[in-house]
Amino acid sequence: MPDSVPNPHPVIEIRGLHKAYGSLEVLKGVDMRARKGEVISLIGSSGSGKSTLLRCANLLEDSQQGEILFSGEAVRWKGEGPARRPADARQVLRIRTNLSMVFQQFNLWSHMTILQNVMEAPVTVLKRDRAEVEAAARSYLEKVGIGDKADVYPAQLSGGQQQRAAIARALAMEPEALLFDEPTSALDPELEQEVVKVIKALAEEGRTMILVTHDMRMARDVSDHVLFLHKGLVEEEGAPDALFGAPKSERLWQFLSHSGEMA
């Protein structure tokens, strides 16, 4: 049976990616790969290109050059340079349904209960059975620790609870990979730890994740591989122990010093 054979390709692979906004070149030829079950963290100062890389990986932004592959399947493009766009809308939709993104600002629908927020995409986009989706949604809300909040509205939750609801919503799509764009930066330290705990638990489950984060402790604790971006390029990458414990790049050493991660 073909389905029983594991896919040997990375879940996400990016080769030589370039992205510019007009004359501002944000990504200048970036490579990245996330294999099944790996947690990849993208770190770097503001403006280094890490969030843009994540948005390009999810096809929320169009890149001008380079390859993006999902489980070995290359995104098909039409046009070149600033005019380059994905050539197949159905391919984009299929890829996006397998990549769930968790944003910095939660992006919950205010007019829906938390349960309705979590159920919406599996029912309307994936056309799954409503009763099955509801059962799964409730289990995901329990998993992130807010099962008792299913019937309340986002405005009635703390920021940490809203972000955990957003994670439950991402999980409900049963994606191949979870993408997190600064998931804790809008939260105060106490609420931040609620979300970090959930992300650590997901990492321990062996889920494929790419994290853009300012939280160096979380990056160190949960990652299999860390990329340090500087001015649109990968300045240094490696296992977290090596990257945080013995940085080779002067720029990384400075960044970690300013982050309080170096003695």
Q: What is the CA radius of gyration of the chain?
A: 19
Q: How far is the C-alpha of 54 from the C-alpha of 192, rounded, in Å?
A: 21
Task: Note whether residue 50 is domain-resident.
Answer: yes
Q: Is the residue at 187 inside a domain? A: no
Separation CA 217–CA 197 (nearest Å): 12
Give the chain's domain count. Answer: 1
CATH value at residue 62 = 3.40.50.300
**What is the predicted pLDDT for the residue at 151?**
97
Q: SS3 of 2, please? A: helix
**Is residue 128 one of the residues assigned to a domain?**
no
How do residues 213-261 score in pLDDT, each as one tens digit? 999 999 999 999 999 999 999 999 999 999 999 999 999 999 999 876 6
Give the domain range for residue 242. Answer: 1-93+208-263
Query: 23 lies in a domain?
Result: yes
For residue 152, tell me if it sits in a domain: no
> CA angle 145-151-153, nearest 5°?
90
Task: Give the pLDDT confidence of 86-136 residue by residue, as tens digits.
Answer: 999 999 999 999 999 999 888 899 999 999 999 999 999 999 999 999 999
pTM: 0.92
Is 136 within the bounds of a domain? no
Is position 22 within any domain?
yes
Question: In this structure, are residues 171 and 140 in contact, taking their beta carbons and an 8 Å threshold?
Answer: yes
Contacts of 26 (CB under 8 A, 6+ apart): 19, 20, 49, 52, 232
Helices (H) and strands (E) in the chain, counts: 9, 12
Is residue 51 in a domain?
Answer: yes
